[in-house]
Amino acid sequence: MAVKVYGPTYASPKRVLVLLIEKEIEFETVDVDIFKGVHKDPEFLKLQPFGTLPVIQDGDYTLYESRAIIRYYAEKYKHQGTDLLGKTIEERGLVEQWLEVEAQNFHPPIFNLVINVLFAPLLGAPSDPKVIQESDEKLGKVLDIYEERLSKTKYLAGDFFSLADLSHLAFGHYLVNQTGRGHLVRDRKHVSAWWDDISSRPSWKKVLQLYKYPV
């Protein structure tokens, strides 16, 4: 039975889709138009009571929060497709560490930039210049730390592609291509090489081909 993924055009669900492709897991998608408020409909709220994306259904099993979903499938299908967790408990620890870094340090400023630079104008809402400036500064500091790390290892958790790298693709795409801030990556030699590596993976290219971003 195929895994059902809701909201494939949006960024966070793409985190799940690229994982499923890497793990060679069959899936199908269900469109959810957040611009029309479908994510707040009572039927959707039965699946995801917070009204956010993504959510998956796997038979009678329902799971939401993209990083929880990718951890679940990476573990469940550890020996199928690409191993994204590392081969030792120490490598797994580093994968989890950098996955948390992505969630707690990289994601908040880039999310704020996407909302204020891309979505606010589209929705006719005002952007917050202060939030934009603070987010730019925070993201620069985060990427300085990435630059140092990636000067020593090919990928964030070591010399192997993992969940930690994969989790950056969905919003990293916005950063490099659509917010006018590609220089934050390109001005950092090792971060730039790392981005070119992970974003050229066939799995990510397939996601972009099949599911265009809404903006």
Three-state SS string across the chain, please? CCEEEECCCCHHHHHHHHHHHHCCCCEEEECCCHHHCHHHCHHHHHHCCCCCCCEEEECCEEEECHHHHHHHHHHHCCCCCCCCCCCCHHHHHHHHHHHHHHHHHHHHHHHHHHHHHHHHHHHCCCCCHHHHHHHHHHHHHHHHHHHHHHCCCCECCECCCCHHHHCCHHHHHHHHHCCCCCHHHHCCHHHHHHHHHHHCCHHHHHHHHHCCCCC
- CA 89 to chain CA centroid, Å, is 24
pLDDT reported for residue 89: 98
pLDDT in tens, 90-142: 999 999 999 999 999 999 999 999 999 999 988 888 899 999 999 999 999 99
Q: How many CB atoms lie within 10 A of CB 176?
A: 18
Measured distance CA(118)–CA(53) in Å, rounded: 18
Residue 209 · residue 164 · CB < 8 Å: no
Prior bond to 54 cis, omega within 30? Answer: yes
Is the alpha carbon torsion for 97, 100, 106, 109 positive or negative? Answer: negative
Cα-only R_g, the chain: 17
Q: Is the pTM of this model over 0.75?
A: yes
Q: Catalogue all structural domains in the chain, each as residue range(s) with its CATH number.
A: 3-83+205-210 (3.40.30.10), 89-200 (1.20.1050.10)
Q: How far is CA 205 from CA 169, 197, 211, in A?
A: 11, 12, 10
pLDDT reported for residue 215: 80
Measured distance CA(82)–CA(27) in Å, rounded: 17
pLDDT in tens, 154-206: 999 999 999 999 999 999 999 999 999 999 999 999 999 999 999 999 999 99
pLDDT in tens, 17-30: 999 999 999 999 99
As given in the structure block, the two tokens for residue 107 are 């994601």
For 31, phi then psi, to 5°, come to -70, 140
